[in-house]
A and B are shown apart, each in its own frame.
Chain A
Amino acid sequence: MGLVRMLHSAPAPTPCFPTKDLLLMTTIAKAPPSTRVRQRRTPMTWVRGGGLSNLVFLLPLLFIFGAFSWWPIVQAVVMSFQKTNLVTPALFVGWDNFARVLRDPLFFTAIKNTGYFALLALIFGYPVPLVVAVLMSEVRKWKGIFSALAYLPVVVPPVVAVLLWKFFYDASPTGVFNVMLSWFGIGPQPWIQSAASAMPSLVLEATWAAAGGTIIIYLAALTGVAPELYDAAEVDGASIWRKIWHVTLPQLRGVLLVTLILQIIGTSQVFLEPFLFTGGGPANSTVTILQLIYRYAFQNSLGGNYGAATALSIMLAVFLAVLSWVYFKATKAWSTN
């Protein structure tokens, strides 16, 4: 195992600093001199120098990450090029799995639906927490109650939230939301029963469940805005709106940029809502990429098509990686300004 190799290379007399420097500059910069002084070749000095206890402390991390994170990641890449059914030995099939996924008519439906979900989630869920957080930051009394109320939906277990909303979304005239709409003279809506309104309904619940977390993040960022900036703006005669526009928002820019891409990454992996609300229906209008992966691997009557499932998940991961890279490149100039 790689572990053993590291173990032996550790007491080597000439440490190779350049590569480590690249990986983590801070680690080297702050390394206490004592660890470097007592290095000799024999295993005994290695133990006395703390090599063994270092390893003992790292062991849980190395074992858990090795078996349940690093190895599965490697396996995912390998499996995407294999045909495997867990019975016969795995067979390398080149790009077949990817081709199989690309040929699936549901693939483009899933991409379209996931994109639609992400877009709607952005429209519903991106501006609202910002407005709420800015308003809340101006609250002078009982601020704690405001944040507790805003965060409460995040604490509700997501499954409970979905099942509860599923009941609220009852399409009959006596459904909870339909009764509430009737107060305003609006007729009963089909909610998750119709292909057109299913996705917006899902997004509405997802936004309700997630907004509290974003609000708290913005609130934390808002307390980080230096009061002197507002003072300075006031000296220049800035009104509240101008202060928000010219001080608050620019100061939040970093957080806003990161939450935007994190939200996109998160919503493109949406699973729970379509799975529990609609199971992908009506008429495949809520089949998302993760649902497709789940279907390939675990809902296949012919046995799990693990190759296609991993191929699709690798495609999604690569897409997200490229997207984030492009995003950070594109916004770099803007965020450091």
Chain B
Amino acid sequence: MTSTETRPTNDADETPLPVRDALGSSTQTLVSRRPRRRRKPAKEAEDRGIASGADWRRRSVRFPLGTSQIVLLVFLVVAGLGPILWLAKSAITPTQDTLRTPIALFPHGVDWANLATAWSTVHIDVQFVNTLWVALGSWLLQVLVAATGGFALSVLKPKYAGIVNGLVLGTLFVPAVVLLVPLYLTILHPPLIGASLINTFWAVWLPAGANAFNILLVKRFFDNLPREIFEAARTDGAGPFRLFWSIVLPMSRPILGVVSVFAIINAWKDYLWPLLVLRDPAVQPLSVRLPTLQRAIELDVYLAALAISTIIPIILFLIFQRLFLRSAGLGGAVKG
């Protein structure tokens, strides 16, 4: 309701159709159907874009702008969705069909067996489960480190918190490539443990936990929580563990959601690091295994394997679209 009444100046500008404007602002649910007024009641106080309502009513603006948006939509469908749809189609198309007419809209014969072959004969299932393990472990560890670390640095604030925080943020400025070799040697001869971590999931999980970006995000979030709540809880006799478990964790679900998205997607995407430390195909995730399959198996099965590896991230994206896009925007906001 509020968003429609925030801009009296604009209504004053829009002299041509005062009656419809008055209607528009009183029956705000109908507004979205008419292109010339502002969008649906926006979540954030975002009433208008660059083009004003008056601009949109002008033919010289509406036509090129509308056309360019339609062109943009077509472009996005072709560029964004096209390759994925092509992969989906080719996953169930026989090899010869894909080779002869690569961009036919429909396959001449649907070959569902490709998916089954890739899954059970080529044993993509092993790598699929491995990928899930890699993602799950990285996620758990990242959430654990970020939540406890952020809590300690932001809420408990021991004297040395400033130093620790500085050291954590400092790692953001070190390119990942610097860590490549020494980290590999650390995994080869880990401190305290003795046995090499090569070919174990720990080799991926542990370094994934050292994510300064997560700490930064969570600490910022905790910094913005009202201090009065912590003081009140302390007055009521809550110790730090109680404070963490019953007060801070339940309040930090949004930011932990963002951390989770980053953690899972990064685990799914990672290639170079798992390639180095997971040499045994039995523990490799999909990303490491797929390039080696290329020469070994038939094209249609290979494309089916590619499609299978893409399904989970896309499904996750479609379900948690808001969270994904917010995280992506947040990433820029923090970096900026």
Contact = CB atoms under 8 A, between A and B. Distances in A.
- Decide whether A and B are members of one complex: yes
Interface of A: 6, 9-10, 15, 20-21, 23-24, 26-28, 30-32, 34-35, 50-51, 53-55, 57-62, 64-65, 67-73, 75-76, 79, 86, 132, 134-141, 143-161, 163-165, 167-168, 174-176, 179-180, 208, 212-214, 216-223, 227, 230-231, 234, 240, 243-244, 247-248, 254-255, 258-259, 262, 265, 269, 271-272, 275-276, 290, 293-294, 297-298, 304, 306, 309-310, 313-314, 316-317, 320-321
19 contacts: A26-B223, A27-B153, A54-B240, A60-B148, A61-B164, A61-B168, A65-B171, A69-B212, A72-B183, A73-B178, A138-B51, A138-B69, A212-B80, A217-B329, A221-B336, A234-B52, A240-B65, A255-B336, A265-B175
A316 B50 contact: no
Q: State the main secondary structure of chain A at its contact with B.
A: helix
B159 A20 contact: yes
A70 B271 CA distance: 22
Contacts of B207: 68-69
Closest 6 CB pairs of A and B: A217-B332, A220-B329, A61-B149, A72-B182, A57-B152, A75-B182
B331 interface: yes
Contacts of A259: 332, 335-336
A255 B332 contact: yes
Interface in B243-280: 244, 265, 268-269, 271-272, 276
B309 to A, nearest CB: 5
Contact of B102 (A132, A176, A321): A176
Nearest to B31: A140
A174 B144 CA distance: 51
B122 interface: no
A145 B70 CA distance: 12
Contact of B39 (A135, A143, A163, A222): A143
B163 A76 contact: no
Interface string B160-199: 1111111110010111111111111110101100000000
A227 B212 CA distance: 35
B20 interface: no
A188 B306 CA distance: 26
Given A67-B190, A68-B209, A132-B72, A27 B158 contact: no
B298 interface: no
Nearest to B287: A159
A90 to B, nearest CB: 11
Contact of B165 (A23, A34, A180): A23
Given A15-B159, A255-B336, 5 more contacts: A24-B161, A156-B313, A234-B54, A240-B50, A297-B184
B97 to A, nearest CB: 12
Contacts of B215: 61
B286 interface: yes
A147 to B, nearest CB: 6
B75 to A, nearest CB: 8
